[in-house]
Amino acid sequence: MPRYAKLSDNNLSLADSLINSYEVHLGKKKKELKSLVTELEDKGYEYRFVRSLSLLLDRRSSFLCNSKVDPVDLRRKIFQATEQLGLPTTFDNRQKIIANVASSVSLSTKEVEENFYSDLDGELVLEKFSSPSSIELLSAYNLGLTQTLLFEASELYFTTSGNWQNIFYAIKKFGLIYEVYEENKIWVKIDGPASIFKLNRRYGINIAKILPVILDNSEWIIKAKVLWKFTNEVCDFKIESQTHSSLLKKQYSTHITYDSSVEEAFASQFQALNSGWVLKREPEPLPAGKQVIIPDFTLEKAGIKIYLEIVGFWTEEYLQRKIAKLRQIKTQMLLLVNQTLACEKLSRLKNNSEFDLIYYRDKIPLAPILRYLETKFEEVKSKELQTLKELPIRFTESIVDFDEFASRIGVSKEAARTFLTENLPSDYVAMADVLVSKAKLVQIDNKIKEALIPKGNLALTEAARIIEKEGLDDSANVLVALNYKIKWRGINSEQAEISKIH
């Protein structure tokens, strides 16, 4: 486990004083700045820690040579003078050469000495510095520490709450290979092509590059196998957002983003339709064998889920492979294909009409998508109804919840409702979201009647309390089913009363 820098007062104040050192050294030489950093090392802080923080700050700095003369030219003149006047093995001879050069470039001897090596690293001057906060600096340190460890990693495993599109884009970009598996959550394993031959550090650097993209999420668990440099032992490494997210705050920039302007435009247009379909961007990836499909959207209505993906540049072979993958996972997915981005002639595409594809030219068309969704909705529903009809269904419980029933059987809520209300068992009554047995209703009716007896009527709130106590929250529908009527006195339900209709 790397020794993370905690966000302790001690560390934060070290970070602050380092940042401050850089700020006050604007316009001064790098070696002066660095000697101040060395002083901090000697004040009891671990020197590696101080040095790493300083290196991170160097990356936010720009150091320049601000010499009046080009030091390379000046040196050339000095070396040429040495050649002409002879190698100075005495101090006097040396001064003669310097004086000679000084007069030829119209500088003082002091300026010649100062500019002799003014382009060396330590002589450069801090011109610009963009200050981070102390927390940002410590986070960057912790990220760097983790990445350094991952340089030695042979493989990485992670699960996360989102940002899938960018993560898989990065995996591809860095030439890595992934496999997907499910263990309560969707896990992804990353390594590289040659990993199959032996445990291999080669991909460590690229694995480390993906880390910030994974961390750019609210929840994550990351595990890695790390080959210990000296002994080649395999060590397990694990961090998760629950315990580590404060140490590894979101970084300044991750540099890997997927262009998603087309997706964004579509999402906002679709949402403006208020179609009843709930659109979600970048849902969880769908495992397809060991590979994965990351759909752009899910569209959900009454428990029926349809995936949708916008296809960028494509070839027929690409579409065929994609469709084969989709068949494997038996999921409803609609592909929106831009004809102008085809990488081959359109005439070859006609045969594809059997698949769930919508071609378009300029703008993603909403009407055919809605038509598709409604057709699919009916299709899925009727298929599910068929399944339900073939099942032997008998209830023993007094209350049957549609939601619970739907998920138990594995159908949409919509199909469950339609099926249960259309094939109502004779001893049950259908409410909005549940079926209730007639016996249960009689039991409730008796309890209400008991409360009614003294006065002949009862406060609505009291009746609702009795019904809820019996496990039903839809009191209004229950009362209607039991032949009660509600007398309203104004709009306040506290004053409403019920009585039996005879």
Give yes or no for residue 448 binding other proteins (CB under 8 A): no
Which of 167, 463 has the CB closer to other proteins? Answer: 167
For residue 121, state whether it binds other proteins (rule: CB under 8 A): yes
Q: How far is CA 392 from the centre of its chain?
A: 44
Shortest gap between Cβ of 76 and other proteins (angstroms)?
7
Buried b (16+ CB within 10 A) or exposed e, 82-93: beeeeeeeeeee
- Check binding of 231 to other proteins (CB under 8 A): no
- Smaller CB distance to other proteins: residue 24 or 120? 120
Write the burial class of residue 417 (CB in 10 Å: 0-12 exposed, 13-18 middle, 19+ buried).
Answer: buried
Query: Which residues between 372 and 391 bind other proteins (CB under 8 A)?
Result: none
CB of residue 337 to other proteins, shortest distance in Å: 26
Q: Is 72 in the site for other proteins (CB under 8 A)?
A: yes
Does 324 sit near other proteins (CB under 8 A)?
no
CB nearer other proteins, residue 94 or residue 447: 94
Helix (H) or strand (E) holding 135: helix 134-150
- 279-318 residues in contact with other proteins (CB under 8 A) are 290
For the chain, the residue count is: 502
Element (H, E) at 261: helix 261-272
Interatomic CA distance for residues 157 and 361, integer angstroms: 40
Q: Which is nearer to other proteins, 202 or 449 (CB)?
A: 202
Write out the DSSP string of 318-375: HHHHHHHHHHHHT--EEEEEEGGGBSS-GGGGGGGGGSSEEEESSS--HHHHHHHHHH
Binding mask 6-45 for other proteins (x = CB under 8 A): ----------------------------------------
Give one word for 490, left, alpha or beta, with left for phi > 0 and alpha for psi -120 to 50.
Answer: left
Coil/strand/helix, residue 247: coil
Shortest distance, position 116 Cβ to other proteins, whole Å: 7
Binding string, 101-120, against other proteins, x = CB under 8 A? ---------------xx-xx
Q: How far is the CB of 144 from other proteins (least distance, A)?
A: 16
- The residues, any chain, with a CB within 8 Å of residue 146's CB and separated by 6 or more, are 2, 208, 211, 239, 248
287 close to 181: Cβ distance less than 8 angstroms: yes
**In the complex, minimum distance from the CB of residue 48 to other proteins, in angstroms, rounded to a whole number:** 6
When the beta carbons of 87 and 432 are compared against other proteins, the nearer one is 87
Chain positions contacting other proteins, by CB under 8 A: 46-48, 72, 75-76, 78-83, 86-90, 94, 97-98, 116-117, 119-121, 175, 177, 179, 192-194, 196-197, 201-202, 290
